[in-house]
Amino acid sequence: MKQRRAWSLVLGLSLVAAACAPGGGATRAPGSAPGSAPAASDAPSAPASQPTGGEDPEELVLGLVPSREADVLVENAQPLVDYLSQQLGVPVEGFVPTDYPGLVAAMKTGQAHIGAFGPFGLVQAADDAGAEIILQSSRDGNVTYHTQWMTNDPDKYCTDEPVADEEGLLFCNGTLEAEEGPAGEEAIAMIEEGTTVSFVSETSASGYIFPAVQLVNAGIDHVEGIEPLFPGGHDTSVIAVCNGEAEVGVSFNDARTILQEGDCDDLSQVVVFAYSSEIPNDGVAVAGNLSDELKEKIKQAFLSFADTEEGKATLDAVYEIDEFAEADLEAFDVVREAAEKVGGSD
């Protein structure tokens, strides 16, 4: 089964903001001169055309929260940007913020009109920026995913012998057989005071908020009871466990598959021992002040793009998306509740 690579997962990487200009133009930050160097920014450097008198903007900005390196995302997402421009009949410009709070701010100030967010980003965009969630990602027919807990000390956290999947990745405590979470949660209580735990970012759903709730439920202080490490990405959280920087780490399922050659010399050092409960998938939000007609056109453009061969290849390359599904707005209440329980910011 193809594993999930989430959109929300690589926050705080200090990635440069970059843009993929429509029509195969040079990569640049929105508002910068063609050929200029990408700017480090959380939002386009100049506001896009704004609606006046109830009219929709003459140019749309699509924000893509980074899943790994910004330049790779820009290149992979170019066909999507081009397709949206063609289908919507207006220029569409893309940019990659340093993190999704930056994209929320861009949508709130009118500097971005479409946003690709993780679950907490979607909630924040809706609640703080007045955005409308229009679609959720679907992978293997699922619109949810979960946190995976990993360790380089299976003797401590595994109650059974680790077993390998078809790719040789190791699992214990029944996690290989469990298609959904939670699973193996009893082992989380084995985390001792002072243990270094690798998360992703304090604003990542699977990379912090949901596992923090599990720590609280296990009677562990998620702030003072452990030594938290925030390497900034799901891949780098896996690497931290692999190289011994952290005894335990979390990521989305299964972030081990997105590592590059040389990231981890021996993935047998990274054993999955628990899952969180299910989390609503990432998705797409649009600015609330766009006309209903344009919102629907944007929604249909994403759906039709996913039905094309180029679209399928692009969405898989960018975020490993199989298709889009109607957004289940009520499902995001669990995200809000989890954030409130651990003091999450979004």
Rounded to whole angstroms, the Cα distance separating 113 from 40 reads 20
What's the CATH number where 178 sits?
Answer: 3.40.190.10
Residues 240 and 173 in one domain: yes
In this model, does residue 336 exceed pLDDT 60?
yes
The residues near 337 (Cβ < 8 Å, ≥ 6 apart) are: none
Find, among 209, 286, 154, the residue nearest to 8 by Cα.
209
Q: Which domain holds residue 322?
A: 18-141+280-342
Confidence of residue 25 (pLDDT cuts 50, 70, 90): very low
Residues 137 and 29 in one domain: yes
Residues 151 and 273 in one domain: yes
Residues 51 and 159 in one domain: no
Report which of residues 327 and 72 the model is more confident about. 327
- Total domain count, the chain: 2
Find, among 184, 141, 191, the residue nearest to 4 by Cα.
141
Confirm whether pTM is higher than 0.75.
yes
In terms of phi and psi (left: phi > 0; alpha: psi -120 to 50; beta: otherwise), the region of 23 is left
Let me know if residue 4 belongs to a domain: no
Phi first, then psi, for residue 284 (nearest 5°) are: -125, 135
Residues 272 and 156 in one domain: yes
pLDDT reported for residue 1:
43
Residues 135 and 167 in one domain: no
pLDDT reported for residue 52:
43
Residues 225 and 315 in one domain: no
Q: How many CB atoms lie within 10 A of CB 221?
A: 10
- Using CA of residue 97, residue 103, residue 107, residue 113, what is the dihedral sign? positive
Residues 266 and 327 in one domain: no
Confidence of residue 70 (pLDDT cuts 50, 70, 90): low
pLDDT reported for residue 237:
97
Report which of residues 291 and 23 the model is more confident about. 291
Q: Is 232 in contact with 98 (CB distance < 8 Å)?
A: no
Let me know if residue 67 belongs to a domain: yes
Lowest mean pLDDT among 3-12, 42-51, 130-139, 330-339: 3-12
Residues 136 and 158 in one domain: no
pLDDT reported for residue 100:
78
Let me know if residue 111 belongs to a domain: yes
What are the helix and strand counts (H, E) for the chain?
9, 16
Strands (E), the chain: 18-20, 60-64, 92-96, 114-117, 132-138, 144-145, 147-151, 163-164, 170-171, 196-198, 227-229, 248-252, 271-275, 279-280, 283-286, 323-326
Highest mean pLDDT among 17-26, 123-132, 202-211: 123-132
pLDDT reported for residue 39:
33
Let me know if residue 308 belongs to a domain: yes
Which residue is associated with the tokens 């509740």?
337
Residues 107 and 137 in one domain: yes
pLDDT reported for residue 101:
86
pLDDT reported for residue 14:
29
pLDDT reported for residue 67:
59
Let me know if residue 183 belongs to a domain: yes
Rounded to whole angstroms, the Cα distance separating 311 from 254 reads 23
Residues 69 and 93 in one domain: yes
In this model, does residue 4 exceed pLDDT 70?
no
> H helices within the chain, ranges in order?
70-88, 100-108, 119-129, 154-157, 210-217, 234-242, 292-306, 309-319, 333-342
Domain's final residue, options 277, 301, 333: 277
Residues 261 and 336 in one domain: no
Helix (H) or strand (E) holding 15: none
**How many residues are there in the chain?**
346
Report the pLDDT averaged over residues 244-271: 95
pLDDT exceeding 70 applies to what percent of the chain? 82
Let me know if residue 8 belongs to a domain: no
> Cis bond leading into 182, ω under 30°?
yes
Per-residue pLDDT tens digits for 191-206: 999 999 999 988 889 9
Q: What angle do CA 312, 316, 319 make, to 5 degrees?
A: 130
